[in-house]
Structure 1
Amino acid sequence: MIVAFLNQKGGVGKTTLALHLAGAWAAEGRRVILIDADPQGSALDWSERRSHEGLPRSFSTIGLARDTLHREAPELARDADMIVIDGPPRVAGLMRSALLAADLVLIPVQPSPFDGWASAEMLTLLNEARIYRPELAARFVLNRCGARTIIARETAETLADHDPPLLTATIGQRVVFADAAQSGRLASEIDVDSPAAREIAALAVEIDRLPIGRTLP
């Protein structure tokens, strides 16, 4: 399966979620490739930090920030159980290519009305991609969420009746994610019993249960 984290808006946590989802699946023994399709290369930077720290590589990270992604990702998927794409902000050609590559698009949003407005552009691109890929699945992911805040509850309620729907699993605003980004580690490696680690595990389980996937020729 090819899962792409995409949103036209930057700063919504695509890289953090992509790295941690890849790590969660790799910890289960799956062969995982993370494609860094963001020209900023944040996932590649994280991978380099991990290497400098002498930490073992649990999944491969490949830079592929070009609009041939929809042709190259399925080829890479032949040698992996899961492909995770860390998508770009506001690069239309690359975004369209990532949409055409994916089996599942995850759209991270933060509990803010501004994120809802920004995602409208993303949904337009998603609908365009479904002309060519009608089976393309998509879900919103509520990220950096204070579970007890009014705005988080209102955002979740708004997205509950939306298409695409909202995943049940939400990810909180956790300091450990910033520590992980700086150290080349995952939240589960810093503290396996942390709320962040449990939230990522719940996200991975929920995605696994979705009836999504395609058989490659």
Structure 2
Amino acid sequence: MIVAVLNQKGGVGRTTLALHLAGEWGLRGKRVTLIDADPQSSALDWSKQRARENVSRLFGVVSLARDTLHREVPKIARTADHVVIDGPPRVAGLMRSALLAADLVLIPVQPSPLDGWASAEMLSLLREARIYRPQLAARFVLNRCDARTVIAREATEALADHDPPVLVSTIGQRVVFADAAQSGRLVFELAEESAAAREIAAFAAEVARIAP
């Protein structure tokens, strides 16, 4: 399966979700390649930090921030069980290419009306891609939220009948994710029994159940 984590809005946690999705699948014994399609190269920097710390590799990271993704990713997918694309912010050509490459698109949003409005352009690109890829699956992911808050519940309810629908799994706003980003590690490596680790495991399992 080729999963693209995309949203043109910055700061929604694309790289965090992409890294942890790849890491969770790698932990389960899957062959996973993460494609860093963000010109900022945050996932590649994370991978380099992990190598400097001599931490065992759970998945490969390839830098591929160009608009030929849809032609190059299928070749990479031949030697992997899963490919995860960490998409760019506000680079329409790259975004379109990632959409054409993917079997499933995950759109991270925070539980805020502003995030909903900011996703409108992303949804327009998704509709455009479905002209060529009518079977392209997509899901919203509520990220950096507290599921117990009123605004998170309202966001979930607002997206309940939406197309694309929202995943049941939500990811909280937790300090351990920042620690993981800086150390080249994943949350289950820093805090195996934490709520963050449980949320990521549930998220990865739910994504794996979506058959494109």
Q: CA deviation at 1:147?
A: 1.4
What is the aligned partner in structure 2 of residue 120 from structure 1?
A: 120
TM-score normalised according to structure 1 size: 0.97
Q: How far does the alpha carbon of each residue in 1:97-140 deviate from its partner, in whole angstroms, 9 at most, with x for none?
A: 00000000000000110000010100000000000000000000
Q: CA deviation at 1:211?
A: 2.1
- Looking at structure 1, the residues matched to 210 and 104 of structure 2 have their Cα atoms a distance apart, in angstroms, of 9
- Looking at structure 2, the residues matched to 170 and 122 of structure 1 have their Cα atoms a distance apart, in angstroms, of 20
- Looking at structure 1, the residues matched to 129 and 211 of structure 2 have their Cα atoms a distance apart, in angstroms, of 19
Percentage of identical aligned residues: 75
What is the aligned partner in structure 1 of residue 83 from structure 2?
A: 83
- Looking at structure 2, the residues matched to 209 and 181 of structure 1 have their Cα atoms a distance apart, in angstroms, of 27
What is the aligned partner in structure 2 of residue 190 from structure 1?
A: 190
Q: Which amino acid aligns with 1:139?
A: R
Q: Which amino acid aligns with 2:66?
A: R
Q: CA deviation at 1:210?
A: 1.2
What is the aligned partner in structure 1 of residue 109 from structure 2?
A: 109
Q: CA deviation at 1:57?
A: 1.0
- Looking at structure 1, the residues matched to 101 and 88 of structure 2 have their Cα atoms a distance apart, in angstroms, of 14
Q: How far does the alpha carbon of each residue in 1:23-70 deviate from its partner, in whole angstroms, 9 at most, with x for none?
A: 000001110000000000000000010011111111000000000000
Aligned residues: 212
- Looking at structure 2, the residues matched to 182 and 208 of structure 1 have their Cα atoms a distance apart, in angstroms, of 27
What is the aligned partner in structure 2 of residue 41 from structure 1?
A: 41
- Pairs within 5 Å for 1:27-38: 27-38=27-38
What is the aligned partner in structure 2 of residue 73 from structure 1?
A: 73
- Looking at structure 1, the residues matched to 41 and 29 of structure 2 have their Cα atoms a distance apart, in angstroms, of 26
- Looking at structure 2, the residues matched to 78 and 209 of structure 1 have their Cα atoms a distance apart, in angstroms, of 20
C-alpha RMSD of matched pairs (Å): 0.5
- Pairs within 5 Å for 1:1-217: 1-212=1-212
Q: CA deviation at 1:20?
A: 0.3
- Looking at structure 1, the residues matched to 85 and 211 of structure 2 have their Cα atoms a distance apart, in angstroms, of 19
- Looking at structure 1, the residues matched to 202 and 152 of structure 2 have their Cα atoms a distance apart, in angstroms, of 18
Unpaired runs of at least 5, structure 2: none
Q: How far does the alpha carbon of each residue in 1:178-216 deviate from its partner, in whole angstroms, 9 at most, with x for none?
A: 00000000000001111111001001111111122xxxx
What is the aligned partner in structure 2 of residue 215 from structure 1?
A: none
- Looking at structure 2, the residues matched to 105 and 147 of structure 1 have their Cα atoms a distance apart, in angstroms, of 22
Q: How far does the alpha carbon of each residue in 1:68-94 deviate from its partner, in whole angstroms, 9 at most, with x for none?
A: 000001110000000000000000000
| Partner SS, residue 83 of structure 2 | strand
- Looking at structure 2, the residues matched to 20 and 194 of structure 1 have their Cα atoms a distance apart, in angstroms, of 14
TM-score normalised according to structure 2 size: 0.99
Unpaired runs of at least 5, structure 1: 213-217
- Looking at structure 1, the residues matched to 90 and 153 of structure 2 have their Cα atoms a distance apart, in angstroms, of 28
Runs of 4+ displaced beyond 2 Å:
none
